[in-house]
Amino acid sequence: MPLKRFDRPIILGMVGDSASGKTTLATGVARILGEDRVATICTDDYHRYARQERAKNGLSALDPRSNYMDIMEQHLALLNQGKPILKPVYSHEAGTLVAPEYVAPKPYIIVEGLLGYTTRAMRDCYDVKIYVEPDEDLRVDWKIQRDTARRGYTREQVLASLEKRKADSPAYIHPQRVFADIVIQFKRPDGQSQERGRHLDVRHILRPTLPHPNLAPLVDAGAKNELSLDLARDHDGKPVDVLGISGAITDQRAAALENLLWDLIPEASHLRANVGEFTDAENQQVVSHPLALTQLLIAYHMVKAALGIHAI
């Protein structure tokens, strides 16, 4: 069933540090929403300076002053209005901006990147704001895995790059966490210091800035050690719900939970798709239940936001 019409796209923000799982999450959400109805853009393309210029002026690539923040704002606002943009493209190979890319409006837009929530004007453009925050040792492992396997770096180069950018994360990335509706924390189960994939646990910190679904039936359907929902204080002291999904959840139970989640958005049942896939250390596509359920919960919010505006 095609989308009949839309006045403006529903925009998902996916912000977090380098290699924190933004693309993996976004890919699954796009698959659920229908890849032909989703445009994904990356705010890391808005670099003001080429790598060589940054080496000269001493600015980090993560520094907002190194980026066309006003153009990023403008483009988010245009996308929000359903307008096309000519998005800059930064080539990581060349270290320079190259030919820009035309992005046509789609019913759903996913905006991922490091600095997407920096200004108020940017934040106002999103319908759903996610911040991804895996355990730091896990993120480091993910970064080494990705950058050595797919970006041609050595392990030592990745570690040196992490060391060099050490001050940037608290300065520019972490302050955006407070603006997210949901903070997603992948973490290793206790005592499993090597796990980095399908058996990771996940915690969702749910802020009351979005109408979260009633998760009680979900939690009741899960075994106690597989699924939990707890009232807690976030580390800034603010009240939040914390949804926990264990990496040890059985296939059967996970499927039942997926069904329950789909039941919450009956208007979107035609969107059902296999979710939760990611690329593991052996470069294989495998499925993680906590990842799948996370993607589904995010898609739930996107679909609900769309229902407020247009038919699905």
Q: Which tokens in the block code for residue 94?
A: 């060349």
Of 100 and 189, CB closest to a second copy: 100
Of 91 and 192, CB closest to a second copy: 91
Of 97 and 210, CB closest to a second copy: 97
- Residue with structure tokens 């499927």? 255
Q: Which amino acid is at 246?
A: S
Contacts with a second copy by CB under 8 A lie at 48, 50, 68, 70-71, 74, 78, 83-86, 88, 96-100, 102
3-state secondary structure of 115: coil
Of 48 and 289, CB closest to a second copy: 48
Cα separation of 188 and 200, whole Å?
5
Residues facing 286 on adjacent strands = 278
Cα separation of 38 and 241, whole Å?
29
Of 71 and 248, CB closest to a second copy: 71
DSSP H helices in the chain: 22-33, 51-57, 69-80, 120-123, 136-149, 155-164, 168, 216-221, 251-264, 289-307
Report the nearest approach of a second copy to the CB of residue 77 (Å): 10
Report the nearest approach of a second copy to the CB of residue 263 (Å): 41
Report the nearest approach of a second copy to the CB of residue 2 (Å): 23
Report the nearest approach of a second copy to the CB of residue 277 (Å): 34
Report the nearest approach of a second copy to the CB of residue 171 (Å): 24
From the list 140, 133, 187, the residue with the least C-alpha distance to 161 is 140
Q: Are 38 and 106 in contact (CB under 8 A)?
A: yes
